[in-house]
Amino acid sequence: MTRKQKRLALILGLLLVLGVATALILSALRNQIVFFFSPSELLTRGDVAGQSIRVGGLVETGTWVKEGENNTFTITDGDKDLKIAFTGILPDLFREGQGIIAEGKLGSDGTFVATNVLAKHDEKYIPKEIEDTLKQEGHWQGQ
C-alpha cells in the first residue's frame, strides 16, 4: 500500500467507528432514557403505562402500610396523589412526611410499582428533583 492508501484506510476506519458510535448513542438516547414526573404530571399523561419512569413527591403521613417485605404508601406533590407499591428494604431515611423518588412502572390499576426507592442521604441532603417539584408546587419549606 502506498502512503496515501494507508492514510485513507486509517481515516475510513476512524469514520466507520465514529459513525457506529454516533448511531448507538442517538438510538440509546431515544429509547433508553428515564423520564422524571411529579404525581400531577404523571396522572395527566396517558402514554406512560408500561414505560420505566421516575416519580417524586412527599410521602403522605398515615399512608405507609408494611406487610413483611411488602410496602405501600402514597406520595403527593400537594395537588395529586399517587399510590406506590414496593417490595424490599426501604432506605434507612425513608419516613412519612419526607421527600422520596421511586423508580418503576405505572400499573394498569393506577398503582405505581417501584423497583427502587431513593430517599434523603442525610439531614441536609434532599434529591434535587424533589426540591424542585416542591418549589414549583409551592410546598417548599427549606431555605
For other proteins, the binding residues (CB under 8 A) are: 1, 3, 6-7, 9-10, 13-14, 17-18, 21, 24-25, 27-29, 32-37, 54, 66, 68-69, 87-90, 92-93, 121-125, 127-129, 132
What is the length of the chain? 143
Closest distance to other proteins from the beta carbon of 118 (Å): 9
Q: How many whole angstroms separate alpha carbon 111 and alpha carbon 122? A: 28
Q: Which is nearer to other proteins, 109 or 122 (CB)?
A: 122
Other beta carbons within 10 angstroms of residue 6's beta carbon come to 10
Beta bridge partners of 86: 71, 114
Closest distance to other proteins from the beta carbon of 27 (Å): 8
Closest distance to other proteins from the beta carbon of 46 (Å): 18
Q: Which is nearer to other proteins, 76 or 130 (CB)?
A: 130
Reading the block at residue 50, the C-alpha cell is: 408500561
Closest distance to other proteins from the beta carbon of 24 (Å): 5
User: Can you tell me whether residue 127 is helix, strand or coil?
Assistant: coil
Residue 66 CB contacts under 8 Å (≥ 6 apart), including other chains: none
Q: Which is nearer to other proteins, 88 or 108 (CB)?
A: 88
Reading the block at residue 126, the C-alpha cell is: 434532599
